[in-house]
Amino acid sequence: MSRGQEQRRLLPAYLATGTGGAPIGSTIDTLTALRATGIPLAPYHTSVHQRVVELLEGGSLTVMEIAGYLGLPVSVGIVVAEQLVTDGQLKGSAPVADAAEVAANANRPSKEVMEEVLSGLRALLV
Amino acid sequence: MDSEHSWSSPQAGHAGTLSPSAGTGPTGQRPVYLPEGAHRRVKILVAGHLGVGKTTAIRTLSEIPTLHTEEVMTDAAAATDDLSLVGLRNKTTTTVAIDFGRLTLPGDKIVLYLYGTPGQRRFLPLWKGIALGALGALVLVDTRRLDASFEVMDLIEERGLPYAVAVNVFPDSPDYSLEILRAKLDLAPDTPLVQCDARQTNSSLNALIELTAHSIARAGEKTS
């Protein structure tokens, strides 16, 4: 579903994050899950920050999903998520529990995780 | 504030089916939240050329309505786009769309994310990020346009990503045997090759099962 001409957002993506940049050494991945902590937004937060926090008041979603639901470029979603985690309004959790085990297998999931994927997929067959 | 004008109204056309509360954006979809308990999120790429059925396969498997994101890439188009037209000469950005879906496996311990990934080389900057951490790629091919699949297979092999090939069968597809297709696609002997109807759940699940088994077999190899 594409936006019509009159529905085009007026706030360009590069302004969505306000004036701040993302902290150096980003730990946010497209599959980092985020949820709201209940800490109120600050006056310098933009309407995009507000929409992200409101979306995550009911549960957690990944950055990819946040971008999809709010119509944001993924890169903007990552920057906004970084800022809100740093400022305390969001809490993030990494896609896998142990990053070291991912790094050990050429940045792919561990064999144990893939075995779990395999049995889970087989269980879905009808 | 001008937020009502900055973003399309999520209520339009959906009154009664959607919560009017906060939490919906321009897509107007009510969010489907992740399982509450601890779980791992695993990425699988669904790759192939335009029109091969990537989004169909994702829609078949996904528990959420397929979501759509766009990403702007700088300079990505420069190598292949025709920039000879005056006025387009300065075009150095291109927009790439990704459709994706989500599949929670029984027990809520693993959530799979299926990323529909375009197969053209000009999207290489996108591939570098998207391939990182993925279990593997399911490459959909159309027997009516086999040559259109070579580019995406090259991209995946360069990234060292395990992949399986699923032949999405269309009504007017030439009826090649899998052995002939394997030769035509120049596949390695251990690369899984299956027939798949992207509209059928079991058929699409089977293709993912083949891919996962192949990724497990290749685990431990130093490829990337």
Q: 3-state class of B22 per DSSP?
A: coil
pTM for this prediction = 0.81
Q: 3-state class of B141 per DSSP?
A: strand
pLDDT in tens, A61-74: 999 999 999 999 99
Which CATH entry fits the domain spanning B42-218: 1.20.1270.30, 1.20.1730.10, 3.40.50.300, 1.10.10.10? 3.40.50.300
- Measured between alpha carbons, how far is residue A24 from residues A20, A79, A83, B204 in Å? 12, 11, 11, 40
Alpha-carbon dihedral B75, B77, B79, B84, rounded to 10 degrees: -110
pLDDT above 90 for B172: no
For B25, phi then psi, to 5°, come to -115, -155
What percent of chain B is modeled with pLDDT above 70?
A: 75
Number of H helices, E strands in chain A: 5, 3
Which fold is adopted by the domain A5-95? Arc Repressor Mutant, subunit A (1.10.10)
Report pLDDT for B109.
94
Q: Is B134 on the interface with A (CB under 8 A)?
A: yes
Dist CA B31 CA B21 (whole Å): 12
Show residues of chain B in contact with A107, CB under 8 Å: 132-133, 224
The answer to whether the beta carbons of residues A50 and A83 sit under 8 Å apart is no
Dist CA B220 CA B218 (whole Å): 6
Q: How many CB atoms lie within 10 A of CB B104?
A: 19
Q: Is B69 on the interface with A (CB under 8 A)?
A: yes
Q: Which helix (H) or strand (E) holds A117?
A: helix A111-124
ipTM > 0.95 for the complex: no
Interface mutation vs chain B, best among A63, A65, A75, most B CBs within 10 Å: A65
Domain ranges in chain B are 42-218
Show residues of chain A in contact with B69, CB under 8 Å: 64, 67-68, 72-74
Dist CA B7 CA A76 (whole Å): 16
Q: Is A100 on the interface with B (CB under 8 A)?
A: no
For residue B4, give both structure tokens. 């009502």
Dist CA B135 CA A118 (whole Å): 11
pLDDT above 90 for B21: no
**Mean local confidence (pLDDT), B64-71:** 89
Amino acid at B93: T
pLDDT above 80 for B11: no
Q: Which residue of A has its CA nearest to B202?
A: A125
Report pLDDT for B83.
46
For B146, phi then psi, to 5°, come to -60, -40
Report pLDDT for B76.
44
Dist CA A2 CA A45 (whole Å): 27
The answer to whether the beta carbons of residues B167 and B181 sit under 8 Å apart is yes
Q: Which residue of B has its CA nearest to A14?
A: B72
Dist CA B152 CA B197 (whole Å): 20
Between B12-26, B43-57, B108-122, B163-177, the lowest mean confidence (pLDDT) is in B12-26
Domain ranges in chain A are 5-95, 97-126
Residue B53 CA, distance from chain mean position: 10
Show residues of chain B in contact with A30, CB under 8 Å: 129-130
